[in-house]
Amino acid sequence: MSEYTNVLKQFPLEPRPDIPIFASFLDIYYSKMSGGSIPRWSDFKIHDFAGWHPNMALSDKIEDGDDYIFRIFGTGFVDLFAQDFTGAPLCQSMAPGHVASSKQHFHKLEMGPYIGWAKGVVPLEGREYLPFEVIDLPLQNELGKVTSFIHLLGVKSKVI
């Protein structure tokens, strides 16, 4: 965890985690499961992300590595981080003190597979802190290995 993240958890796929801010998308994610197998990216259609487009990111595992590359990095994430990380490693988007725990977190999610959840605050330049939540949803490849994640951002409009 870093100075900005106060919750970093992994949830088994069953029972389904109760994370209210992401409940509507968890409905979609679970509807894509087949026989208990996690979905693949190809199982999703663009309309599945209606309302989530700006607050969605997609990352793919670096082959033979312990990090992921953002293939998609929505404008909500760009606004939160004040930088577009499309094409960049996931750990590059983390606060320096958060990289090791982030790598451990994603390794656990990959091996489970588990659903990840992070919650914290981001400092806003010249202002207070903006509360946020991120859910990490594993995706499998054609061989059944976790190789990608859908990341969704939930931002509360109230600064603290």
The verdict on residue 96 lying in a domain is yes
- What is the DSSP secondary-structure string of 57-99? EEEEEPTTSS-EEEEEE-HHHHHHHTS--TTSBGGGGS-GGGH
Q: Which domain holds residue 116?
A: 5-31+59-155
The verdict on residue 40 lying in a domain is no
Q: What is the pTM of this model?
A: 0.90
Checking if the pLDDT of 59 tops 90, the result is yes
**Which of 8-22, 88-102, 115-129 has the least mean pLDDT?**
115-129
Look up the CATH number of the domain holding residue 66: 3.30.450
Region of 82 on the Ramachandran plot (φ > 0 left; ψ -120 to 50 alpha; else beta): left
pLDDT given at position 142? 93
The verdict on residue 50 lying in a domain is no
Contact residues for 86 (Cβ-Cβ < 8 A; gap 6+): 70, 71, 72, 73
Confidence at 160, pLDDT banded by 50, 70, 90: very low
Distance (Å, rounded) from C-alpha 110 to C-alpha 139? 9
Checking if the pLDDT of 141 tops 90, the result is yes
Separation of CA 117 from chain center: 7
The verdict on residue 36 lying in a domain is no
Sign of CA dihedral 57, 84, 20, 111: positive
Bridge partners, 58 (sequence order): 72, 150
The verdict on residue 72 lying in a domain is yes
Average the pLDDT over 65-92 and give the result: 93
**Burial class of 64 by CB neighbour count within 10 A (0 to 12, 13 to 18, 19+):** exposed
Q: Are 74 and 56 in contact (CB under 8 A)?
A: yes
The verdict on residue 45 lying in a domain is no
Q: Are 4 and 120 in contact (CB under 8 A)?
A: yes
The verdict on residue 47 lying in a domain is no
Structural domain total, the chain = 1
